[in-house]
Amino acid sequence: AVADRYGVLRSDGLSERAIFVIDKKGIIRYIRVGDINKRPRLEVLVKELERLEK
């Protein structure tokens, strides 16, 4: 499973709430693993995506 390969698979078989930004070369440029019960702040993700465009 993808979650297992990226190290975010929990012992109960569910995935952590995780965001990975991967560039066109396949390099991980941003990782956020947070509380499954809280939504991530999307403005932080947008900022990271904008950085990749530069």
Domain definitions of the chain by residue range: 2-53
Q: Is a pLDDT exceeding 80 seen at residue 3?
A: yes
Q: Is a pLDDT exceeding 80 seen at residue 54?
A: no
**pTM for this prediction:** 0.78
Instruction: Collapse the DSSP code of 37 into the 3-class scheme (helix H, G, I; strand E, B; otherwise coil) and give the result.
Output: coil
Q: Is a pLDDT exceeding 80 seen at residue 15?
A: yes
Question: pLDDT tens digits for 22-40?
Answer: 999 999 999 999 998 998 8
Q: To the nearest 5 percent, what fractions of the chain are helix, strand and coil?
A: 30, 30, 45
CB distance 17 to 36 below 8 Å: yes
